[in-house]
Chain A
Amino acid sequence: MFAKISPPLLAFGGSLLLLTGLIAALYWSRDPDRSQPLVIHCAEAMRIPMEAIAKEYEKEFRHKVEIRFGPSQTILSSLELTQKGDLFLPADDSYIRLAAEKGLVHSGDVFNLARMDAVVIVRPDFPRKMETWGDFIAKDNKIGLANIEAAAISKVLKQQLQLAKLWKSLEDRNPTYLGNVNEVFNSVHNVKSVDVGIVWDVIAKPHASAKVVKLKELENVQARVQIAIAKNTTQRDNAIHFIRYIRAEDKGYPHLARQGFSDIEKRGPMDERVEIVIHAGAMLRPALEDAIKDFEKRENVRVIRVYNGCGLLVSQMKTGETPDVYFACDASFMNQVADRFDKPTTISNNQLMIAVKKGNPHQVKELADLAKSGLRVGVGHEQNCALGALTKETFIAKGLYARVAANVKVTLPTGDGLVNNLRAGGLDVAIVYRSNVAPFDDIEGTPIEGVQCATALQPIAVSKTSANALVCQRLMDFLRTPESRQRFEKLGFGWEVKEKVEEPRTK
């Protein structure tokens, strides 16, 4: 039969049939699940715990997790080139910083996982003692180290030993440089081609027979393991959920602990949902809402928000109702309840403005113009909110209080209320915060300059009696990250936080 078929047909047809069969065989038994998997670019050093955690997560939540392993630099390059992926988990935090510099992750989307410490690994049949640094760098020892350019452990080792003036003594021994830290372990423990080496403790821990020595000279040679949400993720909520799973004490934590990681960022059980209450000045609402929603998902907490004029909030607190966190519109109100809270941190500032309709139809250019006859002025309530209290102090400082008071038609406990009134035509001018004016195109504002009390400072503090102080502290730190700063500044607030804040550690 085949003799009657022309050779080209036989060749092409036959190979095409064979190809089709092979492709069918390849895809035959694949999981028909079409849902988008959660993609994690993961350092190979994290493989064992992450595979176990991912397997359990897939089983419990029926959501596929696809982990792409490789050396930290390789997975960073892959993320950079493809711009695809949901999570980035390198072996050490220097790669997270690199990723942030390249715009692949936001610094506010970085989560601590654990820590690794450097230890000495000794060949199983090593004949001499290995107790001190001198024993390690003894003349007869063949020393193995991971590549300095590529491996985090050697980079950190060199840095720390240079500080301790020990690096030269190690370099003079002409150590053998191997590809990565796993190769060092293999060479010492399995293949025995070198006598001693320096590896991360988590590499050696799973091997009960490994001979490990901790030297005090290596105490500062550590790596922080962090996981970050990729900027281009299309499954942010799922990514956060998975990170929570890794850190939950009943889920991912045991795997990390078993692998030998130190300082693991443990959180409560996966299903536990902590509740905290925050009282915040009304003007802070636009800046806080999105950040708090994000925080709720990250930490699996429920944040009950109460926004109001600070005068009212302080009155509530004085009746006994102290929230977990208080974010005041001005330090003067925080001072009134300072005894209930830990030392406050100032996050932002907000300047008083003379707000008018666009085009300034009544030509109000400075504070003195508020005394013009027939003008309808709106101000904050002097007792109920910081806005009102600061406005009063400002008028007094300028000697205008009595003259302007005659024109005040509306007093409200929030700047938003005054702005709404102004926009609706019920007022000609209102004294409000910059952040109240910024979102709207149909009103404009003139800042009140030269009066110190015209700039409000917004401090935040955690209650001394909060049952969830750690969660509250993390919320505070979350609000101090660069991403939070962008939100505040976009809304017209000034930024008061001086130091750069990363995700806070629990220890």
Chain B
Amino acid sequence: MSNKPVLNADWPFYLSLALLGGVYVILIVAMLSADLFFTTPDNFLEALASEEIQYSIKLSLISCSITAILSLWVAVPLGYLLARTDFWGKSVVDTLLDIPIVLPPLVIGLSLLILFQTPIGRFFEQNVMRVTHHIPSVVLAQFSVAAAFAVRTMRITFEQISPRAEQVAMTLGCTRAQAFWYVVMPEARRGLLTAFTLSWARSLGEFGPILIFSGATRLRTEVLPTTVFLELGVGKLEAAIAVSLLMIVVAVVVLTITRTLGLRGSGIV
């Protein structure tokens, strides 16, 4: 059956869907337009020229990428285990993995801060690496939240992949691991891309835990959301909006590139 809408018979149906969904799209467009018209190109260029904001862009891009990769590292095994296996304590683990999603971000930041003041945390900082208020804390704060979304995505992805192909592969002599890598993972690539982009985007917008755990130190732990907060904090609304738009541009560019690369060969791109 063709997916193309049949205009004559189905148009009321599609129109009502478009109207309902379109409200939200229009809201987003309206917000972006309001921001766009509030600031000026001069504000935008001034923001781009600032050394602190250039550093903030660099730190945001790199930390989000690191976070997204690390999120996949944990999301793939966790997602597969939750989708395919039954183990003791599975429901507890499942619930625990939802906590970073439901907790207010400030609580995450506070919890991380407290964690690194415990004897174990202090030992780690003194003997392995300085974390609190340093760059690693930015990645850790982002990862704490973004990984939860990645795990969810990968679980759903693996659940949607029929286990049959895996089982067939194993009957043909593959080990479970081989079946996973050669059969399941190729099928999961769109899910991987979604998990990557979701955790990347989530990291970019992360602010609360970073403010508490990493601080807002210029040229050290300042990321783009922190810049918006600091500019707002001194009444520089135009500069805050300019940086917000900068964030949107950066996010759109990165997500578009990622999606394009991911969808290459699928017939869509």
Contacts and interface: CB of A to CB of B under 8 A. Distances in A.
Interface in B192-246: 211-212, 215-218, 220, 230, 232-235, 237-238
Q: How large is the interface on A (under 10, 10 to 19, 20 to 34, 35 or more residues)?
A: 35 or more
B156 interface: no
Interface stretch (B5-13, B66-74, B85-93): B66-74
Interface of B: 58-59, 62-63, 65-66, 69-70, 72-73, 113-114, 117, 132-133, 135, 177, 181-182, 185, 211-212, 215-218, 220, 230, 232-235, 237-238
A15 B132 CA distance: 25
Contact of B233 (A6, A7, A69): A69
| SS class, residues of chain B in contact with chain A | helix
B65 A22 contact: yes
Nearest to A23: B66
Contacts of B181: 6-8, 11
Contacts of A485: none
Interface string A166-192: 000000000000001011011001110
Given A26-B59, A51-B218, A74 B211 contact: yes
A22 B203 CA distance: 15
Given A23-B66, A74-B211, A189 B218 contact: no
Nearest to A68: B215
A18 B66 CA distance: 9
Given A23-B66, A74-B212, A78-B215, A190 B235 contact: yes
Contact of A186 (B66, B132, B232): B232
Contacts of A182: 232-235
A104 interface: no
Contacts, number: 94
B235 A207 contact: yes
Interface string A57-100: 00000000011111000100010011110000000000000000
A27 B130 CA distance: 14
B182 to A, nearest CB: 7
Across the A-B interface, the 3 shortest Cβ-Cβ residue pairs: A44-B233, A68-B215, A7-B181
- Report which residue of B63, B65, B70, B185 has the largest number of chain A beta carbons within 10 angstroms of its beta carbon: B65
Contacts of B182: 7
A82 B217 contact: no
28 contacts: A8-B177, A11-B181, A15-B72, A18-B65, A19-B66, A22-B62, A22-B65, A22-B66, A26-B58, A26-B59, A26-B62, A27-B135, A44-B216, A44-B234, A47-B230, A51-B218, A67-B218, A68-B215, A68-B216, A69-B217, A70-B211, A74-B212, A78-B212, A78-B215, A186-B237, A190-B238, A203-B234, A206-B234
Contacts of B114: 81
A428 to B, nearest CB: 55
Contacts of B212: 74, 78
Nearest to B116: A82
Given A69-B233, A182-B234, A81 B217 contact: no
B234 A47 contact: yes
- Report which residue of B72, B133, B177 has the largest number of chain A beta carbons within 10 angstroms of its beta carbon: B133
A6 B185 CA distance: 13
A19 B139 CA distance: 12
